[in-house]
Amino acid sequence: MALKVIGISASPRLNGNSDLLLRQALSGAESAGAQTEYLRLADYKIAPCIECNSCYKTGRCVVKDDYHLISAKMLDADRIIFATPIFFMTVCAQAKILIDRCQCLWAHKYVLKKPLITTGRDRRAMVIAVGGSKSKKMFDCIRLTMKYFFDVLDVNYAANLFVNKMENPGQIKEHPSAMKEAFALGQKLVSPDTHPPEKPIDIELT
């Protein structure tokens, strides 16, 4: 059975740099036999977490919106590719809203001590992030945020593709290697011949 790969684009800009890299990574996964699905968060209605703590009793979020659809897809997927532009040295607002709403999954897992997924599933995830700063610490916050996000989702943090100094829409297509790296990482993410890495593969380009 083909692996299910979900690609989540947090960019508010359609065909922005992180969005284009995500589509390329999904193409790589599909070329290796995976079943892929692309989701653009801007197309869904997802409200911020209201910190009511109702999920501490039920493990479910009481806010009724499209979050429940997205979270179900994330838990069902064998592989997740999460793509975000960097705003003020962290993930963009669309990404952060989704991540914060997963507090109910944290409560389900750590407060109520209930499993989220079938034990023993090989689930892996990859992060794509694009920034425009010259800072050498551009991706530090991304690594930490996504580490804990993927821990809650019960998914192995397998790879990063980070590209810096990208200011203009679509500029990533002119980068000498970024698109090829995205395609190759998408292929590797679904390869049956690879084991989950102890630490994420880390590719950082400028």
Residues 101, 46 contacting (CB under 8 angstroms)? yes
Q: What is the pLDDT of residue 8?
A: 98
**Considering only CA atoms, which of 163, 142, 157 is closest in space to residue 20?**
163
Write out the chain's pLDDT in tens, 206 residues. 899 999 999 999 989 999 999 999 999 999 999 999 999 999 999 999 999 999 999 999 999 999 999 999 999 999 999 999 999 999 999 999 999 999 999 999 999 999 998 777 899 999 999 998 878 888 999 999 999 999 999 999 999 999 999 888 889 999 999 999 999 999 999 998 778 888 999 999 98
Tokens of 168: 């203009």
Which residues constitute the domain of residue 150?
Answer: 4-205
- Spatial separation of the C-alpha atoms in residues 200 and 101, rounded to whole Å: 24
The count of domains in the chain is 1
Q: Sign of torsion, CA 179 135 98 107?
A: positive
pLDDT digits (tens, 9 = 90+) for 102-127: 999 999 999 999 999 877 789 999 99
Number of other residues whose CB lies within 10 A of the CB of residue 170: 13
Q: What is the pLDDT of residue 185?
A: 97
The helix (H) or strand (E) run that includes residue 29 is helix 17-31
- Cα–Cα distances in Å, from 148 out to 115, 127, 143, 151? 17, 13, 9, 5
- Spatial separation of the C-alpha atoms in residues 46 and 64, rounded to whole Å: 9
Residues paired with 83 in a beta bridge: 9, 128
Residue 155 sits in a domain of what CATH number? 3.40.50.360
